[in-house]
Amino acid sequence: MTFISRRDLLKRAGLAAALPVAHPFQGHDAHSPAPVTERPPETPALQPQREPLEHLTAAESDVLDAVVARLIPTDEHGPGAREARAARYIDRALGGALASSRQAYAAGLAALDRYARSSRGAAFAQLSPTDQDSVLIDVETGTATGFTGSSAAFFNLVRTHTWQGTFGDPYYGGNANFVGWDLIGYPGIRTVVTAEDQKRLERHELKPNHKSAYDTDMFNKATASAAPRGGDHAD
């Protein structure tokens, strides 16, 4: 990405990784967490397949997926937000903790795509990465037209949720294959850290455990539904 340096972004995202269960939501079967551990870490990230959408339309999902792919792009540091399935996280969360943003996404994604077509001559997803970045700069700086209110507000909304979807706990539908945690060198949630673990961590030799918080018994699966399906806390 150009206007958000990846290094700066990762610094800011470190907090998100340290708080991986802060955004519970409904709309995801609490007993069927995302299939995040099926692929060995050394397997190259695959292009995401179209999955059933829960709240976004296919057109909205296409634009959103293209946006998150530029906010945290795949580069020499590894897979980015697209591979982390940040858009999937947002799609699911729009039925739960992010439900109040559903209309903002409908209006904002439509406005962004209209602006891409009018200013650069093609749908956002069809633009070159450079033109996509240029469009996103306009959205970020509030100079893009056609938005309800400032386009900058919509940019900030999507950026925040992209961080959540990339660096949050995989249980919530993002951070697929732990690519977000691997990207920032987060070794995973541990209930016990030995002195030797600490030394390995300081030497950057501590192997990531690639476990969701909900893989341990001490964390309850969180829901935000009106009628919780179990668990006595939501974060």
Partner 1 sequence: MRGALAAVALAVVMGAQTAPATIVVTSPALRADQPIPRDYTADGRNWSPPLGWSGVPAGAKSIAVVCEDPDAGNPPPFVHWVIYNIPSSATGVPENIPFEPGAPMPAQMAGAIQGLSGFRRPFYRGPAPPPGKPHHYHFVVYALDGSVDLKPGLTRAELLDAIKGHIVGQGELVATYERKPA
Scanning 10-18, 31-39, 53-61, 128-136 for contacts with partner 1 by CB under 8 A, the matching segment is 128-136
Q: Report how far residue 105's alpha carbon sits from residue 107's, in angstroms, rounded to the nearest whole number.
A: 5
Among 11, 14, 57, 118, binds partner 1 (CB under 8 A): 118
3-state SS of 122-176? Answer: CCHHHCCHHHHHHHHHHHHHCCCCCCCCCHHHHHHHHHHHHHHHHHCCHHHCCCH
**Residue 123 C-beta: closest distance to partner 1, Å:** 15
Tell me how far, at minimum, the Cβ of 2 lies from partner 1, in Å: 5
Name the residue among 169, 176, 166 with its Cα closest to residue 215: 169
Given a contact cutoff of 8 angstroms between Cβ atoms, the answer to whether 127 and 202 are in contact is no
Determine phi and psi for 78, rounding to 5 degrees: 130, -170
Minimum CB separation of residue 1 from partner 1 in Å reads 9
Nearer to partner 1, 35 or 129 (CB): 129
Angstrom distances, CA of residue 198 to CA of 182, 186, 192? 18, 13, 10
* 3 sits near partner 1 (criterion: CB under 8 A): yes
30, 221 Cβ separation under 8 angstroms: yes
Question: Tokens 């060995």 identify what position?
Answer: 40
Per-residue interface string for the shown chain with partner 1, residues 130-159, x marking contact by CB under 8 A: xx-xx--xx--x-xxxx-------------
The yes or no reply on residue 65 touching partner 1 (CB under 8 A) is: no
**With binding defined as CB under 8 A, does residue 54 bind partner 1?**
no
Could you say which of 2, 103, 209, 216 contacts partner 1 (CB under 8 A)? 2
**What is the binding site for partner 1 (CB under 8 A)?**
2-3, 5, 118-120, 130-131, 133-134, 137-138, 141, 143-146
